[in-house]
């Protein structure tokens, strides 16, 4: 279970949050404001759905976001909760920005540029996927009581 959450922490730190920050900064610099509603491309919607729980497709995590050696669960949990606070702060910062036109290049797929709204959706779908995975580990009859 700690491995699932460690992967989420690494993904937040190295993939999602820096890209969200860059998209927010770009939107502010360009004055991209809108209250929505926002409609995203079919490709972006498909990618969000593909990354959500329960997994329909398997992906190999890039080496830089693969969980490290056994970290204590309480340390990983506290870091995860801190990233949740950071994510919530970014949602507040993005309020009023155009979530469709604010874009940033994907850190893991070089030819793709995601909208800010899709980055938010991808982050949440990714979390749901790995929380679902952690729940399966916990429900395993061999999991220690």
Q: Is the predicted pLDDT of residue 143 greater than 90, yes or no?
A: no
Q: In whole angstroms, give the CA distance from residue 145 to residue 143.
A: 6
Q: Is the predicted pLDDT of residue 144 greater than 80, yes or no?
A: no
63: confidence class by pLDDT, cuts 50, 70, 90 = confident
Lowest-pLDDT range of 37-51, 96-110, 127-141: 127-141
For residue 142, the number of C-alpha atoms closer than 13 Å in the C-beta half-sphere is 1
Average pLDDT of the segment spanning 25-54: 95
120: confidence class by pLDDT, cuts 50, 70, 90 = very high
pLDDT one-digit tens code per residue, 121-132: 999 999 999 999
Question: Cis omega before residue 37 (within 30°)?
Answer: yes
User: What pLDDT sits at residue 28?
Assistant: 97
Average pLDDT for the chain: 91
pLDDT one-digit tens code per residue, 81-100: 999 999 999 999 999 999 99
Q: Is the predicted pLDDT of residue 64 greater than 80, yes or no?
A: no
| Model-wide pTM > 0.85 | yes
Name the residue with tokens 């360009």: 30
Counting residues of the chain whose pLDDT is more than 90, the rounded percentage is: 66
User: What pLDDT sits at residue 139?
Assistant: 86
Of 110, 106, 89, 104, the residue nearest 29 (C-alpha): 104
Q: Is the predicted pLDDT of residue 46 greater than 90, yes or no?
A: yes
| Cβ contacts of 84 within 8 Å, gap of 6 or more | none
């Amino acid at each position: 279970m700690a491995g699932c959450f460690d992967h989420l922490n690494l993904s937040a730190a190295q993939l999602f949050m820096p890209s969200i920050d860059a998209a927010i900064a770009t939107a502010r610099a360009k004055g991209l404001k809108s209250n929505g509603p926002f409609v995203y491309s079919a490709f972006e919607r498909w990618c969000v759905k593909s990354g959500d729980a329960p997994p329909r497709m398997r992906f190999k995590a890039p080496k830089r976001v693969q969980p490290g050696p056994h970290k204590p669960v309480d340390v990983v949990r506290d870091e995860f909760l801190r990233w949740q606070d950071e994510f919530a702060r970014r949602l507040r910062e993005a309020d009023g920005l155009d979530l469709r036109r604010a874009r940033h290049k994907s850190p893991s797929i070089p030819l793709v540029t995601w909208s800010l709204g899709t980055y938010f959706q991808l982050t949440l779908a990714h979390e749901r996927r790995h929380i679902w995975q952690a729940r399966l580990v916990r429900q395993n009859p061999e999991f220690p009581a």
